[in-house]
Chain A
Amino acid sequence: MASIDIQDIRKSFGAFSVLHGVDLTIRDGEFIVLVGPSGCGKSTLLRMIAGLEDVTSGDIRIDGKRVNDLAPKDRDIAMVFQSYALYPHMSVADNMSYSLKLRRTAKEKIASAVGGAAAKLGLDPLLERRPRALSGGQRQRVAMGRAIVRQPKAFLFDEPLSNLDARLREQMRAEIKKLHGDLHATSIYVTHDQIEAMTLADRIVAMHAGVVQQVGTPLDLYDRPANLFVAGFIGSPGMNFFEGRYLVSGDHADLRLANGVTLPVPRRAGIESGATATLGIRPEHVVLDAHGALEAKVDLIEPTGFGIIMHVSIHDVPMKIFTLDRAMLDPGPAVRVDLPQERLHLFGTQGQRVE
């Protein structure tokens, strides 16, 4: 196992730039999730670490050794592909042992490595089958097995669960987490699914438009999103935003919306009075209270079984509320709500978090 050190990595295809200087230090044994919408550069970054894409500028170090110019085969990393990329003409056992054979490992060693990995993943009865004869979940497992047998310095995962149905994805997510608990292997996991990011990561790297937006533990990103992008990307249903002007009067502050309504906000040092700002609150943090300060017109009710997503509007500004209170299945034309001060997020003109 090894640490991975990324310094000011840039990537451009011709004149088109996809990564604008990424810095990241991954500790030995850490599980890092790169998350972001498609096209944000997360897969490119992963492929550069794997050696499948050239580095335009910057350095990548694995275990302290600069690997920019090493071929993928010399980097001692393993990768699980979204398509699994199992070799269709080889049996499961051959798929798993291919890397060891290429390294001319002794036969007995190969057998024990494959046996060990197969036992860990429950692949024993499938070893002689061809990938074609496997279900999606089984293929996924073989792809993992192929990575495990090598005991590489790091595991790279490129959206490995995207091709599975929801139920199986949940199950494999848990298995990956358990596996990481057993192996403590340095892992970098790319996904666009924020739930996968939240559940798996030791640390999440949120990316957007080729720039790292925030690096932190899942709860860091949930509780203290560094900017509007992270705030909107993490959490489901997504955070509610109100745009307006931040105005200080005396010892309290307000956000004045475009339609003239004012919402009280906590006073923050990082922002001038009169600046444009965005107020954010997660749907699950909005409090339904018969004596609440704000009236919300009910537009739509979406029951999810577990809870209820209410689409409401406050002075014509749309907002979502998540509640477990089944009485809200039939709330009437309007409800009263509170936006608790300690749950409010404030973002400045540039979208950055304001403390």
Chain B
Amino acid sequence: MTLAAHPHAVRPLRKRIADASEPYLYSAPALILIIAVMLVPLVLGISYAFRDIQLLNPLSGGFIGLDHFRALSEDQAFFRALRNTLWWTGASVFLQFLFGLILALLLDKPFAGRGLAQALVFLPWAVPSFLAGLNWAWLFNPVIGPLPHWMHALGILDAPNNILSDPHLAMWGPIVANVWWGIPFFAITLLAALQAIPRDLYEAASIDGAGPVQRFLSITLPFLAPTIAITILLRTVWISNFADLIVVMTNGGPADRTQIVASYIFTQAFRRLDFGYASAIALVLLVLLLAYSMLIVLLRQTLLNKG
């Protein structure tokens, strides 16, 4: 009843607080979890880069400044991993994008059984990454897999050997597995963007006399461009962080020929239990990826401004 006495003074304040807090109530559980399990560890992880953290050494934990980074600057294995990362990421993203785009264009045309075909070609995406790695490792294994024999028959290989143990070819193993596994992601995203293009644009272009190639260049590509740009950006970052396939298929070998930075971090942390050094490498990778993303975003901005 006291409320009724001052309806103007009391209720608006309570209502205002209730209204303002509502969106936070909805997002709080997710936020708290993300902060506790991702943001706090991230900050801790950054601090580890400047500390001596070895899991099995109870005397470790001290602050050591830039020692890890000094060690890193002389670590040949790290620089090799960096080069491998470029190669791994570049080849994977390019091939995934190329085959994904073709698949999306193929699926964009209506045909009988499209739903089924779509479900089947997207299936590799559902395959757990470690299993995709094992699966391809087995396919490349001449004992039980057909691929070395086929490649030998086609003259690509001199003998039906496992390319995963050939230092010069080993990287192709995880890349092939990665392309197989990642085509659906690009295809799904691009297909969705394709289907958002208004159909009457194509009809108008046809009436104006544009052929299929002109239609693709003047309508499809410009419409897809924003999606392509953002997907490639996200995918590049993701794939350079993606160590599962390499850890499972080659474990970085032979002779570190397939060691990428992400798998190198994992090796340092998991096999040598040197968390401090692993965090230092991860921090460098994070900075490189951030720089790359900024560059792309800036590039896009300049291009947009020009247009």
Spell out A's residues near B (CB within 8 Å): 66, 68-69
Q: Contact string, B4-20, partner A, CB cutoff 8 A, digits 1/0?
A: 00011001100100000
Quote the shortest CB–CB distance from B270 to chain A (angstroms). Answer: 49
* Listed A/B pairs (6) with beta-carbon separation below 8 Å: A66-B7, A66-B8, A68-B12, A69-B11, A69-B12, A69-B15
**A311 to B11, alpha carbons, bound, how many Å?**
60
Q: Report the bound CA distance from A68 to B11 in whole Å.
A: 10
User: Could you say which residues of chain A place their CB within 8 Å of the CB of B7?
Assistant: 66
Q: Which of B10-37 contact A (CB under 8 A)?
A: 11-12, 15
Task: List residues of chain B with CB within 8 A of the CB of A69.
Answer: 11-12, 15
Chain B interface main SS type: helix
How many whole Å from A293's CB to the nearest CB in chain B? 53
What's the minimum C-beta distance from A144 to chain B, rounded to whole angstroms?
Answer: 31
Which 3 residue pairs across A and B have the least CB separation, nearest first? A69-B15, A69-B12, A69-B11
Q: With CB as the reference atom, state the residue of chain A lying closest to B18.
A: A71
By the criterion of a CB under 8 Å from any partner CB, how many residues of chain B are at the interface? 5
Give A68 to B15 CA distance when docked, in angstroms. 11
The residues in B between 209 and 232 inclusive whose CB is less than 8 angstroms from any CB of A are: none
How distant is A48 from chain B, measured CB to nearest CB, in Å?
Answer: 15
Task: Determine how close the nearest CB of chain B comes to the CB of A70; give it in whole angstroms.
Answer: 9
Complex Cα distance A69/B7, Å?
10
State how many angstroms separate the Cβ of A72 from the closest Cβ of chain B: 13
| Nearest B residue (CB) for A54 | B19
CA of A69 to CA of B13 in the docked complex: distance in angstroms? 10
Min CB gap A64→B, angstroms: 13
Question: B16: nearest residue on chain A (CB-CB)?
Answer: A69
CA distance A69 to B8 in the complex (A): 9
Residue of A nearest to B13 (CB): A69
Question: With a CB–CB cut-off of 8 A, which chain A residues contact B12?
Answer: 68-69
B77 to chain A, nearest CB (A): 56
Query: How far apart sit A69 and B15, CA to CA, in the bound complex (Å)?
Result: 7
CB proximity of A351 to chain B, nearest CB, Å: 39
A66 to B7 alpha-carbon distance, docked (Å): 9
Q: Nearest Cβ in chain B — how far from A61, in angstroms?
A: 12
Report the Cα distance A68→B8, complex, angstroms: 10
Distance, CA A68 to CA B12, complexed state (A): 9
A66: chain B residues at CB < 8 Å are: 7-8
Closest beta carbon of chain B to A74's beta carbon, Å:
11
The smallest C-beta distance from B23 to any residue of chain A, in angstroms, reads: 15
Report how far A69 CA is from B12 CA in the complex, Å: 6
Contacts of B11 in A (CB 8 A): 69
- Chain A's closest residue to B14 (CB) is A69
Nearest CB of chain A from residue B112's CB, rounded to whole Å: 26
> Cα distance A68–B7 when bound, in Å?
11
Contact bitstring B45-78, A, C-beta under 8 A = 1, else 0: 0000000000000000000000000000000000
Cα of A69 to Cα of B10 in the assembled complex, Å = 11
Contacts of B8 in A (CB 8 A): 66
Give Cα A233 to B223, complex, Å. Answer: 41
- In angstroms, Cα B11 to Cα A66, docked, is 12
Q: Kindly state the separation between the CA atoms of A70 and B11 in the bound complex, as whole angstroms.
A: 9
Chain A: which residue is nearest B15 at the CB level? A69
CA distance A19 to B15 in the complex (A): 23
A69 to B19 CA separation, bound complex (whole angstroms) = 11
Closest beta carbon of chain A to B38's beta carbon, Å: 34
In angstroms, Cα B158 to Cα A323, docked, is 96
Contacts of B15 on A, CB cut-off 8 Å?
Answer: 69
Query: Closest CB of chain A to B193's CB: distance in Å?
Result: 27
Instruction: State A10–B8 Cα separation when bound (angstroms).
Output: 18
Q: Which chain B residue lies CB-closest to A71?
A: B15
Chain A proximity of B98: nearest CB distance (Å): 41
Q: How far is the CB of A51 from chain B (nearest CB, A)?
A: 11
Looking at the assembled complex, report how far the CB atom of B17 sits from the nearest CB atom of chain A, in whole angstroms. 12
Tell me, in angstroms, the Cα distance from A80 to B11 when the chains sit together: 29
Distance to closest chain A CB from B46 (angstroms): 38
Residues of chain B within 8 A of A68, CB atoms compared: 12
Nearest Cβ in chain A — how far from B86, in angstroms? 47
Inter-chain CA distance A316–B11, complex, in Å, is 63
Minimal beta-carbon separation of B170 from chain A (angstroms): 54
**Closest chain A residue, CB of each to CB of B10:** A69
B 108-131 binary contact with A (CB < 8 Å = 1; else 0):
000000000000000000000000
Cβ of A122 to closest chain B Cβ, rounded Å = 39
Q: How far is the CB of A172 from chain B (nearest CB, A)?
A: 32
Q: How far is the CA of A152 from the CA of B11 in the complex (A)?
A: 24
Interface string of B146-168 (1 = CB under 8 A from A): 00000000000000000000000
Distance in Å: Cβ of A62 to nearest Cβ of chain B: 14
Minimum CB–CB distance for A112 against chain B, Å: 34
B21 to chain A, nearest CB (A): 15
What is the chain B residue whose CB lies nearest that of A68? Answer: B12
Once bound together, how far apart are the Cα atoms of A256 and B12, in whole Å? 58
A346 to B97, CA, bound (A): 70
Whole-angstrom CA separation of A193 from B7 in the bound complex? 40
